[in-house]
Homo-oligomer: A and B are copies of this chain.
Amino acid sequence: MSSISVGVLGATGLVGQSFILLLSSHPFFRLTTLGASPASAGLAYSKAVENKWKQSTCIPSSVQAIKLHECKPEHFSSCQIVFSGLDADVAGDIESAFRAANIAVFSNAKNHRRDPSVPLLVPLVNPHHLSILPHQRSLHTPPLQKGFIVTNANCSTTALVVPLSALQSRFGPIDQVIVTTMQAISGAGYPGVSAIDILDNVVPYISGEEEKMEWETLKILGGIAEDGKSFDNHSAHPIKVSASCNRVPVHTGHIMTASVKFAKHPPPSIDEVLKAFDEYVPPYLPQSHPSFNASASDLSKIIPTAPPKAIHIHTTPNRPQPLLDRHLDKGASVSVGRVRECGVLDVKFVVLGNNVAIGAATSSVINAEIALARGYI
């Protein structure tokens, strides 16, 4: 496969750094162009990021000398794809401008998530939502040939919807979900949370987070109209989601407890639920795709950043834990443990998702790999 030139917007932030680590060693995406704020434009990446590089590996040597540009499409004309780690206060307009310039945008920002023509894509859950892209392009005057925006979901939502998708696809509609999150500080970016606020503490509130989890879950787990022009947001059978979001003194890894009630009566047994988690395969490719039945090893050439299995099941009772399990599959899978009956709803379990990997940059990169495989790029 020939390489595809890609860029990163917001390259000096935490999400941007994750993009750079993923893309600098990617088998067919070739990272050529980096965008940052006007203040950093003109600087070499290693210089601009000097005191902001928070990764435990060094800046990739291939990236250190790349000069930063302002986030304007004209500087990215060689790129077919840009990945956006921009802050929400600027992401909306910039991403729209790149789309208008016929560049495919995979964004981690929240700005376009509620747009009814933009897929809110968790790669382990709803890749088929990409089928709205022709409609999205058609809304522009003149219609776009190549440009589009795909967003990934909030980091907490992403972790939650993976096991929910496994349950829904096996057992049919879910009625109710009560979820309590314990979220890592890296989810708030850098500098983000003050150490004074979180050391030896839990903060039982993250602005806007509960609303995101409650709303995004419906869009992601919902369907798409037959004409491919709208999402149904699960309106035929809305899932009631009640989220309580907390910040905890953990670097990376959002862990959450979830209780679920099925529409189906009687509900599946714990063994059936475990089996559904274990056997869950994300719908990366449509049935019509020549690689639909490809072996895992062949599939990994097409979607190389996807994890071997979407759900990692833990059977020891005190797992998953952020410290020990956040790096499983390089953070691309979701961990589930403590699957057991709930005394109020039907079943409850613990979910752990790596908020800086599958909860952020890793999702965007897999989304791009899938979009490429599905022919949208």
**Is the beta-carbon distance between A196 and B318 smaller than 8 angstroms?**
no
One of B202, B318, B323, B344 near A242 (C-beta < 8 A): B344
A343 to B244, CA, bound (A): 11
Which B residues touch A338, using CB under 8 A?
A: 204-205, 244
Which B residues touch A170, using CB under 8 A?
A: none
One of B176, B199, B242 near A251 (C-beta < 8 A): B199
A123 sits at the interface (CB 8 A): no
In the complex, what's the smallest C-beta–C-beta distance from A242 to chain B, in angstroms?
Answer: 4
Which B residues touch A319, using CB under 8 A?
A: 204
One of B58, B193, B244, B248 near A194 (C-beta < 8 A): B193
**Is the beta-carbon distance between B202 and A182 smaller than 8 angstroms?**
yes
One of B176, B316, B337 near A50 (C-beta < 8 A): B316
A259 sits at the interface (CB 8 A): yes
A162 sits at the interface (CB 8 A): no
In the complex, what's the smallest C-beta–C-beta distance from A103 to chain B, in angstroms?
Answer: 31
Interface magnitude class on chain A: 35 or more
In the complex, what's the smallest C-beta–C-beta distance from A195 to chain B, in angstroms?
Answer: 4
A195 to B248, CA, bound (A): 11
A287 sits at the interface (CB 8 A): no
Which B residues touch A343, using CB under 8 A?
A: 214, 240-242
Which B residues touch A344, using CB under 8 A?
A: 176-178, 240-242, 261, 345
**Is the beta-carbon distance between A250 and B337 smaller than 8 angstroms?**
no
**Is the beta-carbon distance between A204 and B316 smaller than 8 angstroms?**
no
Residue of B whose beta carbon sits closest to that of A189: B196
**Is the beta-carbon distance between B323 and A57 smaller than 8 angstroms?**
no
**Is the beta-carbon distance between A318 and B51 smaller than 8 angstroms?**
yes
7 tightest Cβ-Cβ pairs between the two chains A and B: A191-B194, A201-B323, A180-B180, A244-B257, A242-B343, A205-B318, A242-B344
- Using a CB–CB cutoff of 8 Å, the interface residues on chain A facing chain B are 14, 50-51, 54-58, 176-178, 180, 182, 185-186, 190-205, 207, 214, 240-242, 244, 246, 248-251, 255, 257, 259, 261, 316-328, 337-338, 342-345, 348, 350
Enumerate 30 A-B pairs (CB-CB under 8 Å) in ascending A order: A50-B316, A54-B324, A56-B323, A57-B327, A58-B328, A177-B344, A186-B196, A191-B191, A191-B194, A192-B194, A194-B194, A195-B195, A198-B199, A199-B251, A199-B323, A200-B251, A200-B323, A201-B321, A202-B250, A202-B255, A202-B321, A202-B322, A203-B318, A207-B317, A240-B344, A242-B343, A242-B348, A246-B255, A249-B249, A249-B250
